[in-house]
Structure 1
Amino acid sequence: MMKRLVVVLSLCLAPNAFAADDVVDVWKAKCKSCHGDDGKAKTKMGQKESLADMSQPAWQAAVTDTDIRQMIADGSPRNTKMKPFKEKLTAAQIDALVGYIRTLKAK
């Protein structure tokens, strides 16, 4: 019985572990160069383009998940350097990025 429970839990938890790794890989490949590891945009491009610090509680409160999802999918209307990713990322990857961005909130 215990072995079966461990196997079932492993199968249930494993996809989430891979998803977490995948979203970090997507962040590093597509977002990090401008937004940095921590979302603070303290990169050369982030500072040049005056990108918002996504770790700030005020930013996190002001920007909805729908706003983030749309900006990733369609690009930024305020910053032409932020290109649309809807052709490069799946809906699941975009949703995972929204969740990842929420984890960047400064405490």
Structure 2
Amino acid sequence: MSHMVRNVGAALMAVMIARSAGFAQSATEGLYKAKCQMCHGEKGMADSGAGKSMKVKPATDPDVKKMSEAQMIEAVKNGMGKMQPYQGKLTDAQIKDVVGYFRTFVK
């Protein structure tokens, strides 16, 4: 009986961990949608009205593709071109997460 309780407990713990990982991804995606998508587009292609009018480069642009994660984090923190700085508006962890999400579009 104690083995069964232990197995059920382990299974419940695994489900809880999987759900929290899904929530973290959803939170980052939501952050991207709220703060970045209006200019960078749904998939990083800068195909929104604002992105086109400000001539934002898409994630597939060679200049964007060659940027390191650290360079992208600095650009988000301090602003770049017409992009406003997000330091003090987003935490360092949020900036890192949203950059990681954007980098999934860089191919």
TM-score normalised according to structure 2 size: 0.84
Aligned pairs for 1:29-44 (under 5 A) are: 29-44=34-49
Count of paired positions = 102
Q: CA deviation at 1:26?
A: 0.7
**Alignment counterpart, residue 49 of structure 1, candidates 45, 54, 64:** 54
**Which structure 2 segments of 5+ residues have no match?**
1-5
1:11-69 C-alpha deviation (Å, 9 max, x unpaired): 32232211111111111110011011010001112112211111x17455401000111
Following TM superposition, the consecutive aligned residue runs of length 4 or more in structure 1 with deviations greater than 2 angstroms are 10-15, 57-61
Letter in 2 for 1:68: M
CA distance in 2, matches of 1:91, 1:15: 20
Identity %: 26
Contact 2:58-2:64 within 8 A present in 1 as well: no
In the alignment, what sits opposite 2:66?
A: 62
CA distance in 2, matches of 1:43, 1:36: 5
RMSD across aligned C-alpha pairs, in angstroms?
1.7
**Which structure 1 segments of 5+ residues have no match?**
none
Larger radius of gyration: 2
Q: Secondary structure at the match of 1:85?
A: coil
- Describe the shift of the 1:84–1:103 C-alpha distance in structure 2 as closer, same or farther (beyond 3 A): same
Please, which moves more after superposition, 34-43 or 9-18?
A: 9-18
CA distance in 1, matches of 2:92, 2:75: 13
Q: CA deviation at 1:71?
A: 0.8
Contact 1:60-1:102 within 8 A present in 2 as well: no
CA distance in 2, matches of 1:43, 1:104: 15
Contact 2:57-2:64 within 8 A present in 1 as well: no
Letter in 1 for 2:32: W
TM-score normalised according to structure 1 size: 0.84
